[in-house]
């Protein structure tokens, strides 16, 4: 039987142990385990890689701990705009959505764009109309509201600055302060290989706090934040989106494998620790190759991550 594997992430960045309570760390790890197991259960039953990454990513979108779906951050105008993408490696089919509001699971909309339209990417109101047409679940603004995210935004509302998730550290409702040393890039994603030898990847995000001018990061961009090709690998990225776009990060890993013959881990290390760092690209990525090998590489202080495979791997982690 072919090996099957799934890896997930819930964001990377300066995740400091001293700022993490035992209770919160347990909550994060529990959420990772739930997402990991939801995708793995499908693979175990012979399900497809695309189903597994969709299910695992939706699980993370449904948790307010992560900056995607329900836990998305606030933009400059007080809205919550979300981006997502998904890709399968057999036929190189992909779907993506950016700047959508009120969609419960943006990655599900990306999947529907891939499977029910002739397009790859849809944006804004048009994507919302397509979602309604195909019965994608929507939610009112209240569903996406959390006091923590709202306080993050209120701290920055009068400035022209943007912040990565958890760049604004909130001790309690009466004490809010900003710290540049507590950066978390709040993207979520998954990559998987199924028993049929097919691979897939998915990524979803709420973007940057106080983002302006309709800013879109790497998460919905095929080849930058997400990529899958059965010849090589499936990749989902998390980090400061602009350098990841400029480096065409996810596709670059695939290229290094296909044209230079590098292993998944070798290729990911070159991209994350060399190419990205040369252009101040902080963050990381997860990946699975066509043989079921997996890697989780990051150049930040931590990355919420997990792996489970038919070979017996089963772990979650936060710090280096």
Active site positions, annotated: 187
For residues 188 and 57, is the Cβ–Cβ distance under 8 A?
Answer: yes
C-beta neighbour count of 59 within 10 angstroms: 23
274 CB contacts (<8 Å, ≥6 apart)?
Answer: none
Distance CA 129, CA 127 (A): 5
**3-state SS string over 145-185?**
CCHHHHHHHHHHCCCCCCECCCCEEEEECCEEEECCCCCEE
How many angstroms separate the CA atoms of 180 and 178, rounded? 7
Question: Within a 10 A sphere around the Cβ of 315, how many other Cβ atoms?
Answer: 12
In sequence order, the 6+-apart residues with CB closer than 8 A to the CB of 148 are 170
Q: Which of 216, 16, 257, 1 is nearest to 96 (CA)?
A: 216
Tokens at 73, concatenated: 């951050």
Closest CA to 100 of 68, 125, 135: 125
Could you tell me how far CA 232 lies from the centroid of its own chain?
Answer: 20
Q: What is the pairing mode between strands 94-100 and 226-228?
A: unpaired
Residue with tokens 């999947």: 111
Q: Considering just the CA atoms, what is the radius of gyration of the chain in Å?
A: 18
């Amino acid at each position: 039987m072919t090996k099957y594997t799934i890896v997930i992430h819930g964001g990377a960045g300066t995740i400091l142990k001293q700022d993490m309570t035992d209770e919160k760390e347990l909550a994060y790890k529990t959420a990772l385990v739930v997402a990991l197991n939801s995708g793995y259960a499908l693979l175990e039953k012979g399900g497809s890689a695309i189903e597994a990454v969709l299910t695992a990513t939706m699980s993370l979108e449904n948790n307010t701990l992560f900056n995607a779906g329900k836990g998305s951050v606030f933009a400059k105008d007080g809205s919550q705009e979300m981006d997502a993408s998904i890709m399968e490696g057999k036929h190189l089919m992909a779907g993506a959505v950016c700047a959508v509001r009120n969609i419960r699971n943006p990655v599900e909309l990306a999947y529907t764009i891939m499977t029910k339209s002739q397009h790859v990417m849809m944006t804004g109101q048009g994507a919302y109309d397509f979602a309604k047409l195909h019965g994608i679940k929507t939610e009112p603004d209240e569903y996406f509201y959390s006091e923590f995210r709202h306080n993050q935004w209120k701290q920055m509302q009068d400035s022209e600055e943007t912040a990565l998730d958890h760049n604004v550290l909130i001790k309690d409702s009466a004490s809010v302060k900003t710290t540049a040393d507590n950066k978390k890039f709040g993207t979520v994603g998954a990559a998987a290989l199924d028993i049929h030898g097919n691979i897939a990847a998915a990524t979803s995000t709420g973007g940057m706090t106080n983002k302006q001018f309709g800013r879109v990061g790497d998460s919905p961009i095929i080849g930058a934040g997400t990529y899958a090709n059965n010849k090589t690998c499936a990749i989902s990225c998390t980090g400061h989106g602009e350098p990841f776009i400029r480096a065409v990060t996810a596709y670059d890993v695939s290229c290094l494998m296909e044209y230079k013959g590098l292993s998944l881990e070798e290729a990911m290390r070159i991209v994350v620790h060399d190419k990205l760092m040369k252009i101040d690209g902080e963050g990381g990525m997860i990946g699975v190759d066509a043989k079921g090998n997996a890697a989780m590489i990051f150049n930040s202080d931590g990355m919420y991550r997990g792996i489970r495979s038919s070979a017996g791997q089963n772990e979650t982690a936060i710090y280096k």
